Amino acid sequence: MSVEQLESAIKALPPEDRAQFVEWFDDHRDELVAEVADDVSEAQKAELIRRRQEYDEHPERFVHMDKKSLDRMFARVRKNVATRLSSAR
Protein backbone atom coordinates (compact mmCIF):
# COMPACT_ATOMS: atom_id res chain seq x y z
CA MET A 1 0.00 0.00 0.00
CA SER A 2 1.37 3.42 -0.92
CA VAL A 3 1.52 6.48 1.30
CA GLU A 4 -1.17 8.07 -0.86
CA GLN A 5 -3.46 5.06 -0.33
CA LEU A 6 -2.83 5.19 3.42
CA GLU A 7 -3.58 8.90 3.45
CA SER A 8 -6.87 8.35 1.60
CA ALA A 9 -7.87 5.52 3.91
CA ILE A 10 -7.09 7.58 7.01
CA LYS A 11 -8.96 10.63 5.70
CA ALA A 12 -11.96 8.41 4.94
CA LEU A 13 -12.25 7.34 8.59
CA PRO A 14 -14.93 8.90 10.76
CA PRO A 15 -13.51 11.64 13.05
CA GLU A 16 -13.62 9.44 16.17
CA ASP A 17 -11.74 6.62 14.44
CA ARG A 18 -9.21 9.09 13.04
CA ALA A 19 -8.58 10.46 16.54
CA GLN A 20 -8.16 6.90 17.83
CA PHE A 21 -5.70 6.15 15.01
CA VAL A 22 -3.65 9.27 15.77
CA GLU A 23 -3.41 8.27 19.42
CA TRP A 24 -2.41 4.72 18.45
CA PHE A 25 0.17 5.99 15.96
CA ASP A 26 1.71 8.33 18.54
CA ASP A 27 1.95 5.43 21.01
CA HIS A 28 3.64 3.16 18.44
CA ARG A 29 5.66 5.69 16.45
CA ASP A 30 9.04 4.50 17.75
CA GLU A 31 8.54 0.88 16.79
CA LEU A 32 7.05 1.80 13.40
CA VAL A 33 9.99 3.93 12.36
CA ALA A 34 12.76 2.10 14.18
CA GLU A 35 15.04 2.08 11.14
CA VAL A 36 14.80 5.83 10.76
CA ALA A 37 15.06 6.39 14.50
CA ASP A 38 18.48 4.74 14.45
CA ASP A 39 19.73 7.78 12.51
CA VAL A 40 18.76 10.09 15.38
CA SER A 41 21.48 10.86 17.91
CA GLU A 42 20.98 10.19 21.60
CA ALA A 43 20.97 13.94 22.23
CA GLN A 44 18.18 14.39 19.66
CA LYS A 45 16.18 11.55 21.19
CA ALA A 46 16.56 13.08 24.66
CA GLU A 47 15.42 16.47 23.34
CA LEU A 48 12.36 14.97 21.66
CA ILE A 49 11.44 13.13 24.84
CA ARG A 50 11.92 16.32 26.87
CA ARG A 51 9.69 18.29 24.49
CA ARG A 52 6.96 15.66 24.48
CA GLN A 53 7.02 15.50 28.27
CA GLU A 54 6.78 19.29 28.44
CA TYR A 55 3.75 19.22 26.15
CA ASP A 56 2.10 16.44 28.16
CA GLU A 57 2.67 18.35 31.42
CA HIS A 58 1.93 21.90 30.14
CA PRO A 59 -0.20 21.87 26.97
CA GLU A 60 -1.33 25.43 27.74
CA ARG A 61 2.17 26.67 26.84
CA PHE A 62 1.75 25.58 23.23
CA VAL A 63 -0.06 27.26 20.37
CA HIS A 64 -2.88 25.11 19.04
CA MET A 65 -3.58 25.62 15.36
CA ASP A 66 -6.42 24.48 13.16
CA LYS A 67 -5.74 22.84 9.80
CA LYS A 68 -6.19 26.05 7.84
CA SER A 69 -3.65 27.89 10.00
CA LEU A 70 -1.19 25.00 9.73
CA ASP A 71 -1.60 24.92 5.95
CA ARG A 72 -0.85 28.66 5.75
CA MET A 73 2.17 28.33 8.02
CA PHE A 74 3.64 25.44 6.03
CA ALA A 75 2.95 27.27 2.76
CA ARG A 76 5.04 30.18 4.09
CA VAL A 77 7.79 27.77 5.14
CA ARG A 78 7.81 26.11 1.70
CA LYS A 79 7.93 29.52 0.01
CA ASN A 80 10.83 30.66 2.22
CA VAL A 81 12.76 27.45 1.56
CA ALA A 82 12.17 27.71 -2.19
CA THR A 83 13.33 31.34 -2.16
CA ARG A 84 16.48 30.51 -0.22
CA LEU A 85 17.29 27.55 -2.45
CA SER A 86 16.82 29.54 -5.65
CA SER A 87 18.92 32.45 -4.36
CA ALA A 88 21.71 30.05 -3.31
CA ARG A 89 22.11 28.83 -6.90
Question: Does residue 82 sit within a domain?
Answer: no
Total domains, the chain: 1
Residue 34 lies in a domain: yes
Q: Is the pLDDT of residue 6 over 60?
A: yes
Classify residue 31: in a domain, yes or no: yes
Q: Where is pLDDT greater, at 38 or 66? A: 66
Give the domain extent around 13. Answer: 3-64
Q: Which residues contact 54 (CB under 8 A, 6 or more apart)?
A: 61
- Per-residue confidence (pLDDT) for residue 15, from 0 to 100: 92
In this prediction the pTM is 0.40
pLDDT digits (tens, 9 = 90+) for 24-58: 988 888 788 766 656 778 898 899 999 999 999 99
Q: Is residue 83 one of the residues assigned to a domain?
A: no
Note whether residue 75 is domain-resident: no
Residue 77 within any structural domain of the chain: no
The predicted pLDDT at position 26 comes to 86
Residue 81 in domain: no
pLDDT at 72: 94
Considering only residues 40 and 73, tell me which one the structure prediction assigns the higher pLDDT.
Answer: 73
- Those residues whose C-beta lies under 8 Å from the C-beta of residue 32, and which sit 6 or more positions away, are 25
Residue 89: inside a domain, yes or no?
no
| Mean pLDDT computed over 1-29 | 91
